[in-house]
Amino acid sequence: MTKPLVITFVGDDRPGIVESISKIIVQHDGEWIESRLANLSGKFAGVLRANIPEDNCDDFTDALKSSAKDLNINIEQVDKAQSSEGHIQCYKLELVGQDQPGIIHKISSVLVNNGATVEDLESEVTEASMSGEKLFKANITLCLAEGYSADKLSEVLEDLANELIVDIELG
């Protein structure tokens, strides 16, 4: 029987982080299931789900923490691999506009107040090609809970887009 573990880590970027973590998973007869990894400002951060045989979980945890002392690691055991249960539909949201303080807070407030949860969020600030102004871009995968309307969410997002002077597309 295997146990699903969710592992989060962050530390200074260096070659071999993924290789060393994956090696320990393999050494304990585990399986790397899914992950999100990124280098942000010289820090390498990740979250991954691995299935580890129940009998190997304690040894795996000890081995991972002792071999990666330069990483801040957290390991959580989960009861089962959970999906977006209780959600009727998932959507992609794209936002592009001039960067401004609080933009993620404003969009996340609208989402949560309209029954949406964030499944995945990627964002960046770049320079606009013509003006050189800071341009904020976000791609969000969100899921609506039962009883909430995508049409209503679209209306509220349109109001927010007008308030922030950004383009928001929900598809």
Each residue's pLDDT tens digit, 68-102:
889 999 999 998 655 545 667 999 999 999 999 99
- For CA atoms 155, 120, 77, 4, the dihedral sign is positive
Distance between CA atoms of residues 165 and 100, nearest Å: 10
Residue 146 φ/ψ, nearest 5 degrees: -55, 140
3-state secondary structure 11-26: EECCCCHHHHHHHHHH
Q: How many helices (H) and strands (E) does the chain have?
A: 4, 8
Domains in the chain: ranges and CATH: 2-77 (3.30.70.260), 87-170 (3.30.70.260)
The per-residue pLDDT for 129 is: 84
The answer, yes or no, to whether residue 37 has pLDDT greater than 80, is yes
Each residue's pLDDT tens digit, 11-29:
999 999 999 999 999 999 9
Q: What DSSP designation does 54 have?
A: G
